Copies of this chain bind each other. A is one copy, B any other.
Amino acid sequence: MYQSSESLGRLVSLLSRLPGVGRKTAGRLAFHILKMPVEEARELAETIVAVKEKVGTCSVCCNISESDPCAVCTDARRDRSIICVVEEASDIIALEKAEEFRPLYHVLGGRLSPLDGIGPDDLNIKALLKRLDGSVKEVIVATNPDVEGDATAMYLNKLIQPFGVKVTRIARGLPVGGDLEYADGVTITRALQGRQEL
């Protein structure tokens, strides 16, 4: 294939390895980078390296962090009686959108998935159990609302019950602003099962 410059071709092939970026998008991004002011391109390059060098893992909650323990674990204003368990660090960003709700978190680093060969030992479950020292009253399992997320939640429930800690699961139902007409049957079933008195 024709390419006008070797380094540009290499950039296209590196960018096209990113998730959701095909060859065409990679080409458009590479040409954009080529036209960028040189300081901006340099900043992008330096930040990519900085992310790899600075960002580590919190030894308490397994969230990504530049400090250990992380800013969430050391935040005194949080409700330290609730641990919200998520699959990935990126899920915390989504949950923090619920502004009235400031619990501690615990990142599992995935979910139980026997088909992919992911068992309990591949997840940060031991570190979670170590945190149940009496100050924690509730563990909210906020794994994704699918079969594997549900299975992981059930497994965690079994493990955590002996500690005398309440285990809850985030609610399933219709998304706010959604449309009944377009909702799938399983979601509607869950929304009916989870109905609440007004």
Contact = CB atoms under 8 A, between A and B. Distances in A.
Chain A interface SS verdict (over half): helix
B93 A2 contact: yes
Contacts of A18: 29, 32-33
A165 interface: no
A21 B33 CA distance: 13
Oligomeric state, in copies: 2
A48 B33 contact: yes
Interface string A74-90: 00000000000000111
Given A3-B93, A28-B19, A90-B31, A8 B64 contact: yes
Interface of A: 1-8, 10-11, 14-15, 17-21, 25, 27-34, 36, 38, 40-52, 54-55, 63-66, 70-72, 88-90, 92-93, 96
